[in-house]
Amino acid sequence: MSRFILYVCMSFVTAFVGVTWAARGFPVYSFRFDRELEPTLTTTFGDDSAKAYERKMWEAQHTAQSDKNPKLDVIRLDALQAGTAYAMSPCDSTMKLNLVTAVTAYTRAWQQKLDCQRPMGMLIACSDKKLKDTADTFSTPLDKRVQDALSAAFDQKGVVKADFPPEVRSDVAQFAGPGFWFDESPICLPRQRGSANPVP
């Protein structure tokens, strides 16, 4: 009889805990072990707040290495993310578009900071002060990470000079690294041919 009462009590406790958890939206806790054990993320199923929180934390981590220019930090982070994503999926058309868009914005920001007349694209008409200010602005630790990510992305090939708007083509190469090609790369052709002409 006492065993039966024990089982009934256990059932009531289990039901109470389950209903309470459900009423709170099934919260899930994630822990990081590189610091003291403490919950770093609380979310509910079907809630986009987790992604927003992760994005915010990612941005905070990287912008800590910048010069605290909010507008430029957005451009830097987009370029960092696009470069990293393209390096992992170089044959994905969406990743390529994101990379071209982000690098175009990054290059335009560099051009706007430089802000000097450049006949034939040469820098000889720019003052030493403008050259130094621009170099300093785009030499933060975050910029170095961006440029490393872009170099790794362009090493995958598949992105060419013609993919960029004419007004940035001459300047993109300085951020693209040695992997920037002026001719179409065959990196994705086997996959494209394979999908277009499958072997019977």
Please check whether residue 75 is in contact with residue 143, taking contact to mean a CB–CB distance below 8 angstroms. Answer: no
Confidence of residue 24 (pLDDT cuts 50, 70, 90): low
pLDDT at 193 over 80: no
Q: 53 lies in which domain range? A: 23-64
Q: What is the mean pLDDT of residues 179-195?
A: 59
Total number of domains constituting the chain: 2
pLDDT at 28 over 80: no
Please check whether residue 99 is in contact with residue 172, taking contact to mean a CB–CB distance below 8 angstroms. Answer: no
Q: Please tell me the pTM assigned to this model.
A: 0.62
pLDDT at 8 over 80: no
Residue 140, in any domain of the structure: yes
The reply to whether 56 and 85 lie within a common domain is no
The reply to whether 137 and 172 lie within a common domain is yes
- Residue 160's DSSP bridge partners are 181
The reply to whether 33 and 74 lie within a common domain is no
Helix (H) or strand (E) holding 43: strand 39-43
Residue 190, in any domain of the structure: no
pLDDT at 111 over 60: yes
The reply to whether 54 and 148 lie within a common domain is no
The reply to whether 103 and 122 lie within a common domain is yes
Which one of 45, 64, 83 terminates a domain? 64
Residue bearing the bigger pLDDT, 41 or 179: 179
The reply to whether 34 and 77 lie within a common domain is no
pLDDT digits (tens, 9 = 90+) for 42-63: 444 555 666 565 555 545 555 5
